[in-house]
């Protein structure tokens, strides 16, 4: 995946995870809250991968 794709997918997962957490909290659904937190963390990791790819590209010129 390209760095842009990683960053966009990461951001989308972060947003979706936050929404799930909010819905879970509003409805008292702890499972949904946990799923949302996991998805948010996945998104943060994806976004970090994309940012790392950019740094590597900048440093190596590849």
pLDDT in tens, 11-43: 999 999 999 999 999 999 999 999 999 999 999
> Which residue range(s) make up the domain with 15?
3-60
Provide the pLDDT for residue 61: 80
Measured distance CA(3)–CA(52) in Å, rounded = 8
- Comparing CA positions, the residue from 10, 7, 1 lying closest to residue 39 is 10
C-alpha distances in Å from residue 24, one per residue of 10, 35, 36, 54: 21, 9, 8, 35
What are the phi and psi torsion angles at 32 (to 5°)? -65, -40
Measured distance CA(60)–CA(62) in Å, rounded = 5
Provide the pLDDT for residue 15: 98
pTM reported for the whole predicted model = 0.86
Q: Are 43 and 12 in contact (CB under 8 A)?
A: yes
Q: How many domains does the chain have?
A: 1
Average pLDDT over residues 38-51: 97
């Amino acid at each position: 995946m390209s760095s842009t794709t990683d960053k966009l997918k990461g951001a989308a997962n972060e947003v979706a995870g936050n929404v799930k957490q909010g819905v879970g909290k509003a409805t008292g659904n702890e499972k949904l809250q946990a799923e949302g937190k996991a998805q948010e963390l996945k998104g943060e990791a994806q976004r970090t991968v994309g940012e790392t790819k950019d740094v590597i590209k900048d440093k190596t010129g590849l």
